[in-house]
Amino acid sequence: MITLLIADDHPLYRDALKGALSLSLPALTLKEAGDLTTTVDILKQEDIDLLLLDLHMPGSNDLFGLLHIRKLFPHVPVAVVSGTEDSTIISKIISAGALGFIPKTTSSGNIAEAVQAILDGDVWLPEGLSDSVEEVDEAFSQLADNVASLTPSQYKVLCYMRDGLLNKQIGYNLDIAEATVKAHVTAIFKKLGINNRTQAVLIASQLELEPPK
């Protein structure tokens, strides 16, 4: 029996995805999560054969959810399900370790095809996008791996640094002491192998990170 985890914060889309997969792949066992924390908890407790991950659910903060899960569970295959169809973003997603990208506009039949292909060990991309997606960028993959070592709190601080906020402003936004922000910044520099905010902003910009919602 194959166990698949659908991680998306929209219950209606989860239901639609479950319906499509149950019809086409009846041997699947389907689990659900609506945020990153629940996703991580399920991955710790269950043997998941494939994770279908929404980039924009609570706690995920776009690419960080994928990077965080790939770091914690490197042996769990992940396919990203998203409303975006930007080839540059998809290239980064694949370079960050995802085995597939499924637009939310994909038909139920193609979703089942994608899931089966990924379970078989292949990388799956939509037919119309596969030619425009660049090959895996090794330099970006290394960047992504370094960022994945950050904690969720450190990641949020990095996003705010990219947006030009001072430590005091970051502390106010995150409701933490300025000294705690400074500790996060020090840890970020160490984990990313850098020594100033300019380098941190450059890394965040290369990853196209979004600020916390």
Mean pLDDT of 163-167: 93
Confidence of residue 212 (pLDDT cuts 50, 70, 90): very low
DSSP classification of residue 173 = H
Interatomic CA distance for residues 144 and 135, integer angstroms? 15
What's 67's domain CATH number? 3.40.50.2300
Mark whether 28 and 104 lie in a shared domain.
Answer: yes
Mark whether 166 and 66 lie in a shared domain.
Answer: no
Mark whether 156 and 115 lie in a shared domain.
Answer: no
pLDDT tens, residue by residue, 39-86? 999 999 999 999 999 988 887 766 888 988 998 999 999 999 988 777
Q: Is 35 helix (H, G, I), strand (E, B) or coil?
A: coil
Mark whether 169 and 91 lie in a shared domain.
Answer: no
State yes or no: pLDDT of 184 exceeds 50. yes
Mark whether 83 and 187 lie in a shared domain.
Answer: no
Interatomic CA distance for residues 177 and 105, integer angstroms? 43
Q: Is 165 domain-assigned?
A: yes
Least reliable range by pLDDT among 8-12, 57-61, 69-73, 187-191: 57-61
Q: Is 140 domain-assigned?
A: no
Q: Is 212 domain-assigned?
A: no
Q: Is 182 domain-assigned?
A: yes
Mark whether 26 and 112 lie in a shared domain.
Answer: yes
Q: Is 89 domain-assigned?
A: yes
Which structural domain, as residue segments, surrounds residue 171? 150-206
Interatomic CA distance for residues 154 and 174, integer angstroms? 11
pLDDT tens, residue by residue, 84-99? 777 778 888 888 889 9
Q: What pLDDT, on a 0 to 100 scale, did the predictor assign at position 7?
A: 95
Residue spans of alpha helices (H) in the chain:
11-24, 36-45, 63-72, 87-95, 108-119, 138-148, 152-162, 167-174, 178-192, 197-206
Q: What is the mean pLDDT of the chain?
A: 87
Mark whether 194 and 95 lie in a shared domain.
Answer: no
Going 116 to 120 to 126 to 127, the CA torsion angle's sign is negative
Mark whether 55 and 100 lie in a shared domain.
Answer: yes
Mark whether 79 and 177 lie in a shared domain.
Answer: no
Mark whether 108 and 158 lie in a shared domain.
Answer: no
Q: What Rg value do the Cα atoms of the chain yield, rounded?
A: 18
Interatomic CA distance for residues 125 and 104, integer angstroms? 13
Q: Which pTM was predicted?
A: 0.81
Q: What percent of the chain has pLDDT over 70?
A: 92
Residue with tokens 């985890």: 5
Maximum average pLDDT range among 111-125, 144-158, 168-182, 194-208? 168-182
Mean pLDDT of 98-123: 88
Number of domains in the chain: 2
What's 162's domain CATH number? 1.10.10.10
Mark whether 177 and 74 lie in a shared domain.
Answer: no
